[in-house]
Amino acid sequence: MVNSIRRYEGRHAVITGGASGIGFKTAERIVSEGGTVSLWDVDAAKIDEACHALGSSTHGIRLDVSDPDQVERAAKETAEKYGKIDILVCSAGITGPNSKVADYPIDQWKHVFDINIHGLFFCNRFVVPFMQKNAYGRIVNVASIAGKEGNPNASAYSASKAAVIGLTKSLGKELVSDGITVNAITPATVDTPILQQLKPEFIDYMLSKIPMQRFGKVEELASLITWIASEECSFTTGAVFDISGGRATY
Ligand code: NAD
């Protein structure tokens, strides 16, 4: 799809978790607006499918964001191939188990943190130096409304997403003089494959919390992310954007 809006002409974006859901739809929008995209994802089959769907403006790298060595290599490979990295959208994430605190498996708690916050930090950490070289960058970290409000039986997920918000606020201030903005978004439930990780009763609970009484659409997420990740969003950093159908407005 070619878009008459061309905000991403000449720009290169890295999208973690870009082979599915919110990340994939964001990649599609950036490509449609003239940009090139590297999809960093752990799922090789989905990467192939996504690259095939998006065409020659897209490059895929199979990696696990929780491994800092893999992330560092991917950042170098991407910058060598495209000459720069202008945009980073960190969308890779997992929900972890729906479990009460007294039963919460310790290894699963650590696994959720390894991916949702340590992995996200590694991506910020290893991409920022390439943005600093050009004194330009846009980072969008995908948190969750759970990081502000908490969700019952989802303590690791909620706590890891709260950490994403804290990291974003900190880097937003730290990187101002480098021409890099760092913002986060806090979606309520969005209709994507990640919902398959949750029990049906938990999905019903989350729907009941949204005043608009529906889940978000990936197109709505891509619209917000591609505005924050564009040059148009030039006076906002360290901010947290709600996209929650009215669930939380603070
Ligand atoms: P999704 O499952 O469709 O996409 C997530 C992608 O991340 C997948 O392609 C998966 O392969 C990839 N991924 C998982 N672990 C990885 C790892 N270790 N390394 C690299 N890639 C990895 O889910 P989605 O709904 O598009 O979720 C995207 C982000 O949005 C997540 O961070 C999620 O927590 C957040 N979010 C989603 C919702 C929702 O309801 N869908 C709500 C709030 C926040």
- Tens of pLDDT along 154-171? 999 999 999 999 999 999
- Measured in degrees and rounded to the nearest 5, phi and psi for residue 197 equal -80, -5
Q: Is the pTM of this model over 0.90?
A: yes
Write the DSSP symbol of residue 30.
H
What pLDDT is recorded for position 163? Answer: 98
58-62, strands of its sheet edge to edge: 58-62, 36-41, 12-16, 87-90, 137-142, 180-187, 240-243
User: What residues flank ligand 1, with Cβ below 6 Å?
Assistant: 16-17, 19-23, 41-43, 46, 64-66, 91-94, 115, 119, 142, 144, 187, 189-190, 192-194
**pLDDT confidence bin for 2, thresholds 50/70/90:** low
Which of the residues are catalytic? 157
Q: How many angstroms separate the most distant Cα atoms in the chain?
A: 53
**Strand ranges, E, within the chain:** 12-16, 36-41, 58-62, 87-90, 137-142, 180-187, 240-243
- Tens of pLDDT along 61-94? 999 999 999 999 999 999 999 999 999 999 999 9
Given a cut of 70, whether residue 203 has pLDDT beyond it is yes
Q: How much distance in Å is there from the Cα of 24 to the middle of ligand 1?
A: 10
Q: How much distance in Å is there from the Cα of 88 to the middle of ligand 1?
A: 15
Q: How much distance in Å is there from the Cα of 177 to the middle of ligand 1?
A: 31
- Tens of pLDDT along 228-242? 999 999 999 999 999
Secondary structure (DSSP) of 106-132 = HHHHHHHHIIIIIIHHHHHHHHHHHHH
Mean of the per-residue pLDDT values of the chain? 96
Tokens of 241: 């954007």
User: For residue 129, which of 180, 195, 187, 182 has the smallest C-alpha distance?
Assistant: 180
Q: Please give the residue that has the higher pLDDT: either 14 or 2.
A: 14
Average pLDDT over residues 205-210: 92
Q: Where are the domains positioned within the chain? A: 12-243
Q: What atom in ligand 1 is closest to the CA of residue 19?
A: 9
Answer yes or no: are the C-beta atoms of 88 and 127 closer than 8 Å: yes
Handedness of CA 224, 236, 138, 62 (dihedral sign): negative
Give CATH for domain 12-243. Answer: 3.40.50.720
